[in-house]
Structure 1
Amino acid sequence: MALSLPASLAFGQDARIGFVDLQKAVSGTKEWKKEFATFKTDFQKEKTVIAEKEKSIRQELEDLNKQGFVLSPDLKKKKEEGFMKDKREFERYVQDRNEEYNRREKQITDNLLQKMIKVVQAMGKEKKYTMILERSAVFYFSPDDDLTDLAIKAYDKANP
């Protein structure tokens, strides 16, 4: 029932409610930009390595297909087994790298998110807000109550 009442009635006349877009706040910090730039550079390097390995696997298959008619059955079988082993190792390598990068991205985001939440809590206490809500949980609010940019500045100041 209190949700349908105006904030002034539900919380008293001096209620102050602010809103923060946490995703925008985290991705707007200097630390996020630095971490993400490093992450992106590492990811691009790894994509190059994967592309080279994939090219090598394709070449190995092409060579096997070309030579398949002239190779003895035993040698052909041995080369096919070698190719399948290389292909499985490549697929496992790609899967491991994807898992590693997903885990790393989540770790970076979670770390910054926890720090941002503490900054927002401190900001709310300091500026005497009754509550600060996540922007995505609200359909409408006055742009004057958006604390996202303040949260980014406070975060950057607290985490140089």
Structure 2
Amino acid sequence: MTDAALDELGPVDFIVVEFPAGQSNFTGEMADELVRLVDAGLIRVVDILILAKDDDGAVEALELSEAGDLGGLVSIEAELAELLAADDVAHLAAAMEPGSVAGVLVYENLWSAGFAAAARRAGGQLIANGRIPIQAIIASIEADAELETAGQ
């Protein structure tokens, strides 16, 4: 990447989607949705890995090109960088349950690249970001509803 391209880089995030033992189901629907996000200009895929953790805790990491039939992901695969190092893989795999399989997606948020570049040109820097898991939001809404019901 050139310095100019780095100046325009948007925030880069990752997600890990785990499938419990015996339930790995990387359907075409997931690939289609990922391609749709790329085609819409919302994200740029930086790296994709598939992690398999056996019952003894040993982890095998596969790059997308090693995963077999890529379907609609063929167009994305050619542009991938191998960004994640072995230490990153070990850290991500530590959160996985034994016997599970997970997909790791590293992506640039193109939708916010202009804002991020403008903030950097203004002298700002991103010092924190985060994500609230949907399970936590659901739990919070349910807890509020229970409190409301109990208070009536």
Asked whether the two chains share a fold, i.e. TM above 0.5, the reply is no
Larger Rg: 1
Q: Higher helix share goes to which structure?
A: 1
> Which one has more relative contact order, counting CA pairs under 8 Å at least 6 apart?
1
Q: TM-score range by the shorter chain?
A: under 0.3
TM-score in terms of structure 1 length: 0.21
TM-score in terms of structure 2 length: 0.21
Q: Higher strand share goes to which structure?
A: 2
